[in-house]
């Protein structure tokens, strides 16, 4: 089982979007996925709500995938570790932990129990400073733990996704509803391509932390 925490110090930098995209791509590949909503502002829970409440534009509403769970994190690190054990025991392949903006100790705890810390960034100059800060934060965290103790791999994920496509893919019923909406075929195709990109990202992740 792979455990990934998504970290970025600034709000609105694509953490939750990355979590949703990776989960969607992993489901497409037949993997079992658990998302842990490590942000106090439960955005992942709202993803599920918007799925349930979407109009679906006449498309038959599918069931929420049985192989995708969205959980709240337990209060303690011990609780988190036993939750991960339980998820592994029930055959989950991928756990993605979304976090809140800022440099909080709860986010550090999530990182320390993970195999990989992923720092999402868009390919624009303005994001490099904040991305650098996030990398330095992870360096400090690595320096703060005892020599020889396990530490996650840290990678920056640079991804340019059209915000409209991302919003269409992650809200209001996603691809199936959009396929029926006016002009929706184009949106649906773009979402499909976005998912292909996310599948490539998963392949890269498998190389860093074998599935
Ligand atoms: N790779 C990307 N390329 C372009 N736009 C993106 C990308 N990732 C996210 N976005 C857009 O940026 C906005 C913020 O994304 P998101 O909610 O994922 O950020 P966040 O880091 O989770 O924010 P917060 O810290 O507030 O939880 C969304 O409108 C989303 O569609
Ligand atoms: Mg978020």
Which domains are delineated in the chain?
A: 2-159 (3.40.50.300)
Beta-carbon count within 10 A of 31 CB: 19
Site to substitute for ligand 1 among 7, 9, 10, 14, most atoms within 8 A of C-beta: 14
pLDDT of residue 189: 75
pLDDT of 186 higher than 70 = no
Report the alpha-carbon distance of residue 70 to residue 16 in Å, rounded. Answer: 12
Q: Rounded to the nearest whole angstrom, what is the distance from the C-alpha of residue 80 to the centroid of ligand 1? A: 26
- How confident is the model over 71-81, as a mean pLDDT? 95
pLDDT of residue 26: 97
> Of the given ranges (8-17, 58-67, 146-155), which has the lowest mean pLDDT?
58-67
pLDDT of residue 187: 66
pLDDT of 185 higher than 70 = no
For residues 176 and 29, which has the higher predicted lDDT (pLDDT)?
29
Report the alpha-carbon distance of residue 187 to residue 174 in Å, rounded. Answer: 10
User: 157 CB under 6 A from ligand 1?
Assistant: no
Residue 28 structure tokens: 């497409």
pLDDT of residue 61: 84
pLDDT of 34 higher than 90 = yes
pLDDT of 184 higher than 70 = no
- How confident is the model over 166-194, as a mean pLDDT? 64
Q: Yes or no: say if 73 and 64 are a contact pair by the CB < 8 Å rule.
A: no
Q: pLDDT confidence of 135, banded at 50, 70, 90?
A: very high
Q: Which of 34, 36, 15 is nearest to 159 (CA)?
A: 15
pLDDT of residue 136: 98
Q: What is the pLDDT of residues 102-113, one digit of tens each?
A: 999 999 999 999
Residue 62 structure tokens: 């599918």
pLDDT of residue 211: 84
Q: Which residue has its alpha carbon closest to ligand 1 atom 23? A: 12
Task: Write out the residues surrounding ion ligand 2, Cβ under 5 A.
Answer: 15-16, 43
Give the mean pLDDT of the chain.
Answer: 89
Which residues share a beta bridge with 98? 6, 37
Site to substitute for ligand 1 among 5, 10, 13, most atoms within 8 A of C-beta: 13
The percentage of the chain sitting over the pLDDT mark of 90, rounded to a whole number, equals 65
Beta-carbon count within 10 A of 134 CB: 22
User: 101 CB under 6 A from ligand 1?
Assistant: yes
pLDDT of residue 37: 95
Q: Rounded to the nearest whole angstrom, what is the distance from the C-alpha of residue 148 to the centroid of ligand 2? A: 32
Which residues lie closer than 8 Å to 211 by C-beta, 6 or more apart?
Answer: 2, 31, 93, 94
Q: What is the pLDDT of residues 163-177, one digit of tens each?
A: 666 666 655 555 555
Q: Which ligand has the nearest atom to the CA of 14? A: 1
pLDDT of 56 higher than 90 = no
């Amino acid at each position: 089982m792979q455990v990934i925490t998504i970290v970025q110090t600034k709000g609105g930098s694509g953490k939750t979007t990355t979590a949703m995209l990776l989960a969607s791509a992993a489901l497409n590949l037949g993997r079992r996925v658990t998302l842990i909503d490590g942000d106090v502002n439960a955005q992942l829970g709202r993803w599920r709500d918007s799925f349930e409440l979407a109009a679906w534009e006449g498309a038959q509403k599918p069931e929420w995938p049985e192989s995708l769970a969205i959980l709240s994190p337990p209060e303690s690190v011990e609780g988190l570790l036993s939750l991960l054990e339980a998820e592994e025991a029930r055959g989950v392949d991928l756990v993605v932990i979304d976090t809140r903006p800022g440099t909080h100790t709860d986010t550090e705890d999530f990182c320390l129990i993970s195999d990989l810390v992923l720092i999402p960034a868009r390919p624009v100059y303005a994001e490099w400073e904040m991305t650098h800060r996030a990398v330095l934060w992870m360096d400090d965290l690595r320096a703060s733990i005892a020599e020889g103790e396990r530490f996650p791999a840290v990678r920056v994920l640079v991804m340019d996704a059209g915000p409209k496509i991302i919003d269409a893919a992650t809200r209001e019923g996603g691809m199936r509803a959009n396929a029926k909406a006016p002009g929706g075929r184009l949106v649906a195709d773009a979402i499909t391509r976005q998912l292909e990109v996310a599948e490539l990202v998963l392949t890269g992740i498998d190389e860093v932390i074998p599935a």
